[in-house]
A and B are shown apart, each in its own frame.
Chain A
Amino acid sequence: MSGTRRITYREAVREALREALTRDDRVFLMGEDVGAYGGAYACSLGLLDEFGDDRIRNTPLAESGFTGAGIGAALGGMRPIVEIMTINFSLLALDQIVNNAATIRHMSGGQFSVPLVIRMATGAGRQLAAQHSHSLEGWFAHVPGLRVVAPATVADARGMLWTALQDPDPVVIMEHATLYNEEGDVPEDEDLAVDLDRAAIRRAGDAATIVTYSANLKKALAATDELAGEGIECEIIDLRSLRPLDDQTIMTSIAKTHRAVIVDEGWRSGSLAAEISARIQEQAFYELDAPVERVCSVEVPIPYPQHLEQAAIPQPHAIAAAVRKTLRR
């Protein structure tokens, strides 16, 4: 293997954008404050100077309007990347995403595809309170016709965009807001594309399987460090793709560990964790030595004070406790 470089998640996103804009002249970035401001999370900082305002297309505050325009532009032969400041604001564009982007292929009898990428920031942890902190990934993952991915590592943030752009259908990329400042290694190789069809095993072990995605990967890793001290070696699966789910990787791991803990920043009721739990019971029930455990967000709007916010979302100690419970320890 050639060497690696250390960059931040934000830089990885920016490099990926730059690469896409350079390699394919059908690609353009569109969203609120992606231009002079550089993006709400500074992902496109500097790109306006490099690529101009036609391709770094700053939009008015009109989530539905510009997301729909992205769908139209994709139908018209472009490869738009629509940036939505946060997942809470994407609710204003749900009509276009769910009623148009996700339906047009099937509803038109296969005549049109919508090769659109939508990126948005998600998640809690920055004390932004109840209208900027939610994890609604599961809502999008509910919808046939969409692909939903969540880069948990810097390398995935660097590589997933290009893979997403090669997809002929709409792909939603969920970037957890607490990850942008994280540092990580990316390969020096030219080809950084990430396989979106396969979940990644981030830690091998045989005591229990922890299934997670996005920023909770870090917390799962922290929990397993704690557990390793007690001689409990967990396997960690980073889903990467939230729709479709890579059932095979999950079930293969459970056939080895016989225990499952799902960590999901979404609220427990009707969550992605609930879906994964159901699939495990459908597909691997007789492999299980203990009930499936879920570590999810407490069912409250995310509060502002740090102690309450942290109490509302999954934490390493809760993950470790859930693993112990599956081991009756």
Chain B
Amino acid sequence: MSEADDRVHLTHEHALHLLREMTRIRRFEEKCAELYSGSKIRGFLHLYIGEEANAVGVMQALTEEDAVVATYREHGHALARGLPMNEVMAEMFGKASGSSGGRGGSMHIFSARHRFYGGNAIVAGGLPLAVGLALADKMQGRDRVTCCFFGEGAAAEGEFHEAMNLAALWKLPVLFVCENNLYAMGTALARSESNTDIRAHAAVFGMESEIVDGMDVVAVEAAARRAVHAVRRGEGPRFLETRTYRFRAHSMFDPDLYRPKEEVEEWRKKGPIVRFTDWILGTRLVHPDHVAALENEIAEEIGAAVAFAEEAPWEPVEELTRDVTTPRGAEVTA
């Protein structure tokens, strides 16, 4: 990869692409919230609304060969990674045509085709997995990066520190992306961390890090490109802290009582989609007609995804115990 790839080339096409990706996630999740109220989607549903610039920005820096490990708040990551919206929506419904065959639901989206390793609902549980995936790449001499997303709440878990140490100790090709949205459920960062500077944890292991405005998709892309580039050069793991905010409650069960409404409103003004749209329209990089067209296309895509999920079959109960273990003689995906 050349040094030039380190920079963001904000052409008309790329600007539209970034806007499209963020808007797809936003509209998809708005639809999910609606479907939740209509009982089509059940269980936990953690919306990413407000944080779209993070997944979209970071994914620009990854190639198809790279791997992604995410959390339960991963619809955005899955879509930005390129999983078909139909499959993701069907997974939300729990249908057999879903990305995990409906088995995982909202929190456990997996896709071998996209090297998307979940969908982990244990806070910090994905970090050791990412370390292992990167270890396998390093031991087999493959030039791939594993990108691991998690919230700032993970920084209080032991697995976070264990995994960061291992990655740094063994100089593994991992990009750790901490999406710092200031709250872990209802617990504000200052209520859980003696040192609220999350990056300090990376510094302990001698890991280079950067803080980036997670509401600015171009800034995230640029920072991710710098970090991924360094990881790919064999410099060992990097840590990226994105400063972001979720506009919705933690999950659909959360009455959102722990933060002032004004705070949410302030952040909404800095929303990644409004801000980026204003900017690309202002600089005339994109024409308002393009934005309108894009919204229409997305509405169609979502309509089709919902129809697909509605029509998709349920997994027959007879298959309940299929794939608890691997059938003898089956190919092992790796």
Chain A positions near chain B (C-beta within 8 angstroms): 28, 54, 59-60, 62, 64-78, 80, 92, 95-96, 99-100, 104-113, 115, 144-145, 147, 168-169
Contact = CB atoms under 8 A, between A and B. Distances in A.
A112 B112 contact: yes
* Majority secondary structure of chain B interface residues (helix, strand, loop or mixed): mixed
Contacts of A78: 135-136, 139-140
Nearest to A96: B128
A108 B136 contact: no
Interface in B86-139: 98-104, 108, 110-112, 117-120, 122, 125, 127-137, 139
Contact of A115 (B129, B165, B332): B332
A112 B135 contact: no
27 contacts: A60-B166, A65-B165, A69-B163, A71-B129, A72-B117, A72-B129, A73-B133, A76-B136, A76-B140, A77-B140, A95-B125, A99-B122, A105-B325, A105-B326, A107-B103, A107-B118, A108-B103, A108-B110, A108-B112, A109-B102, A109-B103, A111-B111, A111-B333, A113-B330, A144-B324, A168-B325, A169-B325
Which of A67, A99, A113 has its CB near the most chain B CB atoms (within 10 A)?
Answer: A113
B101 A65 contact: no
Contacts of A62: 162, 165-166
A61 B325 CA distance: 30
A108 B122 contact: no
A190 B182 CA distance: 60
A210 B267 CA distance: 68
B135 A100 contact: no
A100 B125 CA distance: 8
A75 B108 contact: no
B334 A75 contact: yes
A80 B334 CA distance: 13
A78 B67 CA distance: 15
B66 to A, nearest CB: 12
A77 to B, nearest CB: 4
Nearest to B136: A76
A321 B307 CA distance: 68
Contacts of B98: 109
Given A75-B132, A76-B334, 6 more contacts: A62-B165, A65-B127, A65-B128, A96-B125, A107-B110, A110-B322
A108 B135 contact: no
Interface string B228-258: 0000000000000000000000000000000
B117 A112 contact: yes
Which of B129, B130, B140, B158 has its CB near the most chain A CB atoms (within 10 A)?
Answer: B129
B131 A108 contact: no
A109 B166 contact: no
Contacts of A147: 325
A111 B125 contact: no
Contact of A76 (B99, B108, B119, B133): B133
B131 A77 contact: no
Contacts of A144: 324
Given A60-B169, A62-B162, A78-B140, A68 B132 contact: yes
Contacts of B67: 76
A310 B9 CA distance: 72
B334 A68 contact: no
Contacts of A28: 139
B139 A106 contact: no
A144 B322 CA distance: 12
Contacts of B140: 76-78
Interface in B307-334: 322-326, 330, 332-334
B135 A73 contact: yes
A112 B169 contact: no
Interface string B254-283: 000000000000000000000000000000
B130 A72 contact: yes
A110 B323 contact: yes
